[in-house]
Structure 1
Amino acid sequence: MRTTSIRRAAVPGISVLALALTACGPSSTDSGSEGGSGDTSAAASSEDLSGELAIGGASSQESAQNAWIVGFGEVAPDVTVTYDPVGSGGGRENFISGAYPMAGSDSYLTDEEGELADATERCNGEAPIEIPNYVSPIAVIYNLEGVDNLQLSPKTLAGIFAGEITKWNDPAIVKDNPDANLPNETITPVHRSDESGTTENFTDYLDAVAPDVWTAGAVETWPTEFGGEAGKSTSGVVQVVTDAPNTIGYADASQAGGLGQASIKVGEEYVAPSPEAAAQILKVSPRVEEGSDVNMAVDLDHKTTEAGTYPIVLTSYLLACQSYQDQNEADLVKGYISYILSDEGQQIGSEEAGSAPLPDDIRSEATSIVEKISAG
């Protein structure tokens, strides 16, 4: 497993942002956002923290976590944060076991496999905190010579990954791309080999929009009966698609690099993946039914026809406890999450990892939850 530990990497603007943060006193509440969360004061007080915070989880968050670690290192120079991109499943498992004091996950905790109950037990009998920290489109990435603007309807996309559409010049793909020069080449779909929240979000979309074609439901582990090539973690999928012509895969758009990214049909238009288009789906999606007052998870409305909305979205969460046995651990978790939710943290995540900044009302609610983290 790869562990990311960064203290002073060169991220543009970080030093300037750190100066702005530390110049604010603890009583400052002018964060510059409509939500009025007062997040700059939380970041400013982080300079008194010290110790190590070893966390991990969703590999989709890796780029953003790298940037957040750098920025937090500027305002909390005596804290070492490490993030191990073990995948969402590994993040939840390590959080529940107590190996991680907090974790990143591309899917929220549920009662289906006892995760929510186990996490509640781990958190001293209190409901675990689940707050969104990262919103990004899941891009349908492809490597197809001569095709720069691939367009795919939901059923066509499902047919490709279900193994029913096997040629790039299949009539269904031609219908979506009447002006493209599609080759008579075999399509190689690429999927994650590890348990993955990105896979769960991607298959949840396929299940919602084309259940008669995609029959495996929403799953974290790719169903082997559909075949295809596999890559471990987000970076692994991107590498396989980069190296092999005529491939198509799925990955957090922030890590897609120079690969082609397909536009997906929503209503009567094809929408390209972008942070802004991804953030739109949060406005039309309801909260989960099994929520609590510290659970902000949503059930994404993949079937929306809202104009300008990209429908395949990764809403990634931070999992934490409301209280910890150790005061310093509580302070480190609270300080780091507060930084991520701050104006500066959200700006860095957007600039360095391509994530969509959280809407002000959502960020304000998340901040109010994190402020209650305590020890004892």
Structure 2
Amino acid sequence: MKLINIGKTFGTTVSVAAIAALTLAGCGSDNNAPTSTATSDTGATAASGADCGGKNSVTAEGSTAQQNAVALFNQVWGQVCAGKNLSYNPTGSGAGREQFIAKNVDFAGSDSALKDDQIAAAAQRCGGSPAWHLPLVFGPIAMAYNIDGVDKLVLNGDTLAKIFQGQITKWNDPAIAALNEGTTLPDADITPIFRSDSSGTTDNFQKYLQAAAPESWTKEAGSEFQGGAGEGAQKSAGVVQAVQATPGSIGYVEKGFAEQAGVPFAQIDTGAGAVELTDETAGKAIDAATFAGEGNDLVLDLNSIYGTTEPGAYPLVLATYEIVCSSGYDTDTAAAVKSFLTVAANDGQSGLSVAGYVPLPDQFKERLLTSINAIGSTS
């Protein structure tokens, strides 16, 4: 299956049902989504266990990293619950959190948790109830590159930190050459490509550098790029396009976008040997993830993933959240949000791998569904 590049739709509200139709067209199979077993009657319960009540149209905004996953979730939701549709605006995680707080959308998609100064504002938006972070899918971050004649490239946290801070500037630098014995690296300039917009992918990439190369990465993390080297590009599709157009470049982007564009991406050496990015290697790292706290707010502690030295584990993985009100929605909105999330957590997971994501680990699903079921309303 080849996914359709939807980067050109940025900046406008995207009908994800339309995206999903394009995405799945040409696959030659409808196996990515279940056949609808629900009726259009308000409150009908689908075979997946989702209640199909509530309003028919839900809105969300945020992460470009999860936009293809959301498209697939929405396509399945429309089949399981006839007439349901989510409109998702992929403007970036920072914008999504802001629009959620401003009550302009029903929930936000974000690769990072709410910041400390946003937590109180989100609770106010939710009628005094806290907002919850619900991880629906994990997205590996690929280090996409454009080096003529180099089909295999190995990097590690130290070299990546120095590349994105401008301390390593040539592809044949001794530190890179030491990781790539037998590969002829060109005496060519390196052009790092970073996200110029507020991005959860940037935040996770920089958190990885902090954990994997604490002595080399002297900058902070955060949704804004701190490295100070290279050229910026807007959103995930922009990073891929910049890498494709710039010889000698390297950029961090979600695996699905790199695969869609046919751009090669590097292996990462965590100290236990070079690890190729696959579902299996990313899943091995995800197995080490733990929740940061108790209860229904499911923020993940990913530090153990970023700094892993487990053989065969690919460490550069982000968790993509839906940020929702724990309570405070009107009854129709609460029912519809819960319906969408339930379908996404159950039926929607099966099509994620082909879109470049790692499906939700089984050990998280039960707790996730408990949180979704606990979402309440004001009436």
Q: Residue 21 of structure 1: CA displacement?
A: 4.4
Match of 2:374, SS? coil
- Give unpaired runs (5+ residues) of structure 1: 29-39
The one-letter code of the counterpart of 1:245 is: P
Change (3 A) 1:139 1:252: same
C-alpha offsets along residues 31-89 of structure 1, whole Å, 9 cap, x if unaligned?
xxxxxxxxx111xx32x554321111110011111222222122233223111111111
> 5 Å matches for 1:103-182?
103-111=108-116, 114-182=117-185
Question: Which residue of 342, 357, 360 corresponds with 1:358?
Answer: 360
Q: Residue 129 of structure 1: CA displacement?
A: 1.7
> 5 Å matches for 1:1-376?
1-7=11-17, 9=21, 11=24, 12=27, 13-14=29-30, 17-19=33-35, 21-22=37-38, 26=45, 40-42=48-50, 45-46=51-52, 48-111=53-116, 114-223=117-226, 226-257=228-259, 258-288=262-292, 291-300=293-302, 301=304, 302-342=306-346, 344-351=347-354, 353-376=355-378
Q: Residue 20 of structure 1: CA displacement?
A: 5.9
For 1:192 and 1:27, how far apart are their aligned partners in 2? 40
Match of 1:281, SS? helix
Contact 2:349-2:360 at 8 Å conserved across structures:
yes
Match of 1:63, SS? helix
Contact 2:106-2:324 at 8 Å conserved across structures:
yes
Match of 1:339, SS? helix
For 1:119 and 1:292, how far apart are their aligned partners in 2? 19
For 1:153 and 1:7, how far apart are their aligned partners in 2? 39
Match of 1:74, SS? helix
Task: Point out the more displaced range, 123-132 or 99-108.
Answer: 123-132
Number of equivalenced pairs: 354
- Give unpaired runs (5+ residues) of structure 2: 1-10
Contact 1:162-1:213 at 8 Å conserved across structures:
no
Change (3 A) 1:108 1:242: same
Structure 1 moving runs of 4+ over 6 Å: none
Contact 1:132-1:315 at 8 Å conserved across structures:
yes
Aligned to 1:32: none
For 1:214 and 1:95, how far apart are their aligned partners in 2? 32
For 1:14 and 1:370, how far apart are their aligned partners in 2? 27
Change (3 A) 1:81 1:20: closer
Q: Residue 203 of structure 1: CA displacement?
A: 0.6
Contact 1:211-1:217 at 8 Å conserved across structures:
no
Q: Percent identity?
A: 36
The one-letter code of the counterpart of 1:67 is: L
Supply the RMSD in Å over aligned alpha carbons: 2.0
For 1:259 and 1:17, how far apart are their aligned partners in 2? 27
TM-score (norm 1): 0.89
For 1:287 and 1:311, how far apart are their aligned partners in 2? 17
For 2:82 and 2:295, how far apart are their aligned partners in 1? 33
